[in-house]
Amino acid sequence: MTTDHARRRMSRRGFVGLTSAAALVLAACGGSSDSESSAETSDEPVLSGVVREPAPVVDGTALPSLTDPGTAVEFRAQPGGIEVVYFGFTNCPDVCPTTMSDLRAALNRIERDDPGRTDLVDTLVVTVDPARDLEVLPQYATSFVSDAVAAGTMDEELLLAAAEPFGVSYDVRTLDDGTVEVDHSPFLYAVDDEGHLVLTWQFGAQPSDIANDLTILLDQAAA
């Protein structure tokens, strides 16, 4: 059985990321009143996702591209754009396909309202289960977002270095019967053209909220 739910048994490589991810959830829950208060006194557009201050720099480690073998992908958007990043795996039964479907719906919404605007949004999907995903992730990613780029590596230290600035946690275990179980952070991330993590959406974010946030971020990038 494969699961996305947090388990008591978490590997060392996932512990630091899990702590950061938990902080994100607490920040989102604890910051409601402040957000509501600032919304009442400011004309600035309000983002529904979680903003971390200061914004983490996440472009220090590049990963091998699975979409274009022999090249590397960076965690940095194109100039004036936004890169949406997701760490997941293809055998994920529910969280990953739900999140990617929500992203697709959000992008479709933007494209419907402002044709061509999604050209400035890049999608990058990184596998936390490379032993099973390296060959199949590109097709999986584009089944949700047609121009999505897939990345992954069997180098555990490299993957950890890429995931850690995001606060991503993951744990892949093979049980005695050969069953593979995977835990991972369920968040979706927005990165700007300077390699900063500017927004994090928690699992269950509505496509309309993701679309609105992306529009705001693109407007800010163009300003």
Helical ranges in the chain per DSSP H: 12-30, 32-41, 95-113, 130-133, 137-144, 156-163, 207-222
SS3 at position 50: strand
- List per-residue pLDDT tens for the chain, 223 residues long: 444 333 333 333 443 343 344 334 333 332 333 333 334 445 678 999 999 999 999 999 999 999 999 999 999 999 999 999 999 999 999 999 999 999 999 999 999 999 999 999 999 999 999 999 999 999 999 999 999 999 999 999 999 999 999 999 999 999 989 899 999 999 999 999 999 999 999 999 999 999 999 999 999 999 8
Q: What domains lie within the chain, and their CATH numbers?
A: 12-222 (3.40.30.10)
Give φ, ψ of 55 to 5 degrees: -65, 125
pTM: 0.82
**Residue pair 155/167 in contact by the 8 Å Cβ criterion:** no
